[in-house]
């Protein structure tokens, strides 16, 4: 029986371990929190910091293959491990995704359109970048930003003052894209084949993903095919294998690269029930050396992200056991209003059905 190591013990590790068990594959997770969600489904655990070189080496020794569900694994400890142990995705996609400037340059170099962008390392370079990119624009920290944190929209000279706190670290300035909607492309590649999940439309609330709707009703089959071809070409050109999620801005019949993540993605959770296979299962197949399976949509599906403020509503919904409604709670010991605590997948439901029947059950 093969064993997969997972660096990170959050909800992504939990769902990865659950799928591994269904495929007869053992898992061991490493996380600094003794009550990490993934430990409930793993066969082994290592409680240690992500930069604990000895603990990471022990994880690698115990496992046939190792992956990561956490983007900010320090490169100085992962790179030498990738040279001695089987970390099939390698360090490159992680490295490319950890700096927004490097990420944008890489995307543009390998086939994606991107918004105009410029590096910023202080107020003077910010003014120069604004002159190049123009208003409106978005200033983002180059590293560690997530769920809308570490960024500011600049619409005029008067907004520069609010950008000053961000300039304590290297930043990137991007042209503001007046997009119709955001979409997600989730792919898994094994070096020979790339499988791509149906493209979903993402709806955010306060910078955090709220809903993912599949199929994206505004998305024409031709545009979806272009997205898929571009994404698959990008993975091959970069030499990436394993899983990759790419967030796209969509305006009419055009799309732009926003950001990427070389791990299972929040916007792909709907695949567990909405597809013939799911993002976690295909990642396990890749890590275990099994052939990949091409995913097919089962039915229109809506995924609702459950934050702490909606946890009680999700628990009530779970108790109702409604047909086509699948409640996933991550077992986190502490609930906070904006902490991701679970998700609910509504299969056989489109965006209009969700709005009419289910939306009112959650905090508006």
Q: Are residues 224 and 136 in the same domain?
A: no
Residue 190, in any domain of the structure: yes
Q: In which domain, by residue range, is 326 found?
A: 181-361
Q: Are residues 72 and 220 in the same domain?
A: no
Which residue, 229, 232, 226, 256, is CA-closest to 244?
232
Q: Are residues 229 and 332 in the same domain?
A: yes
pTM for this one?
Answer: 0.95
- Domain harbouring 73, CATH code: 3.40.50.20
Q: Quick check: 183 and 250 in contact, CB under 8 A?
A: yes
Report the DSSP pairing between strands 208-214 and 200-205. Answer: antiparallel
Residue 221, in any domain of the structure: yes
pLDDT in the model for residue 74: 81
Instruction: Tokens for 357, please give them.
Output: 């029947």
- Domain harbouring 244, CATH code: 3.30.470.20
Q: Are residues 62 and 121 in the same domain?
A: no
Q: Are residues 251 and 352 in the same domain?
A: yes
Q: Which of 70, 87, 104 is the last residue of a domain?
A: 87
Residue 103, in any domain of the structure: no
Write out the chain's pLDDT in tens, 364 residues.
Answer: 899 999 999 999 999 999 999 999 999 999 999 999 999 999 999 999 999 999 999 999 999 999 999 887 887 888 999 999 999 999 999 999 999 999 999 999 999 999 999 999 999 999 999 999 999 999 999 987 665 568 999 999 999 988 899 999 999 999 999 999 999 999 999 999 999 999 999 999 988 999 999 999 889 999 999 999 999 999 999 999 999 999 999 999 999 999 999 999 999 999 999 999 999 999 999 999 999 999 999 999 999 999 999 999 999 999 999 999 999 999 999 999 999 999 999 999 999 999 999 999 999 8
- Structural domain count of the chain: 3
pLDDT in the model for residue 75: 77
Instruction: For residues 10 and 145, give the distance between their C-alpha atoms in angstroms, rounded to a whole number.
Output: 18
Residue 184's alpha-carbon distances to 80, 99, 225, 256, 318, in angstroms, are 32, 20, 13, 11, 27
Q: Which of 124, 154, 175 is the last residue of a domain?
A: 175
Q: Are residues 249 and 138 in the same domain?
A: no
Q: Which of 131, 152, 175 is the last residue of a domain?
A: 175
């Amino acid at each position: 029986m093969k064993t997969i190591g997972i660096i990170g013990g959050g909800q992504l590790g939990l769902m990865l371990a659950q799928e591994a068990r269904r495929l007869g594959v053992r898992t061991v997770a490493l996380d600094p929190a003794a009550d990490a969600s993934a430990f409930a489904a793993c066969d082994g655990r290592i409680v240690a910091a992500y930069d604990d070189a000895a603990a990471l080496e022990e994880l690698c020794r115990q496992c046939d293959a190792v992956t990561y569900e956490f983007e900010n694994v320090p490169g100085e400890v992962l790179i030498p491990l990738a040279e001695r142990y089987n970390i099939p995705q390698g360090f490159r996609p992680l490295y490319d995704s950890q700096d927004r400037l490097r990420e944008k340059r890489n995307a543009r170099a390998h086939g994606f359109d991107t918004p105009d962008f410029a590096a910023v390392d202080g107020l003077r370079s910010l003014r120069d970048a604004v002159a190049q990119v123009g208003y409106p624009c978005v200033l983002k920290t180059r590293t560690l930003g997530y769920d809308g944190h570490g960024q500011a929209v600049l619409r005029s000279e008067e907004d520069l003052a609010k950008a000053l706190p961000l300039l304590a670290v290297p930043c990137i300035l991007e042209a503001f894209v007046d997009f119709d909607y955001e979409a997600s492309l989730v792919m898994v590649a094994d070096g020979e084949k790339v499988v791509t999940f149906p493209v979903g439309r993402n709806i955010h609330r306060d910078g955090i993903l709220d809903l993912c709707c599949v199929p994206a009703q505004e998305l024409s089959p031709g545009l979806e095919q272009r997205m898929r071809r571009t994404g698959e070409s990008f993975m091959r050109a970069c030499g990436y294998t394993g899983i990759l999620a790419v967030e796209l801005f969509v305006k009419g019949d055009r799309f732009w690269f926003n950001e990427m993540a070389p791990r299972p993605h929040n916007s792909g959770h709907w695949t567990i029930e909405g597809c013939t296979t799911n993002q976690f299962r295909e990642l396990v197949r890749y890590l275990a050396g099994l052939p990949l399976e091409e995913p097919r949509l089962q039915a229109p599906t809506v995924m609702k992200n459950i934050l702490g403020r909606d946890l009680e509503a999700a628990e009530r919904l779970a108790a109702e056991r409604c047909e086509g409604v699948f409640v996933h709670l991550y077992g986190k010991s502490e609930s906070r209003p904006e902490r991701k605590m679970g998700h609910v997948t509504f299969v056989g439901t489109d965006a209009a059905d969700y709005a009419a029947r289910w939306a009112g059950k959650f905090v508006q």
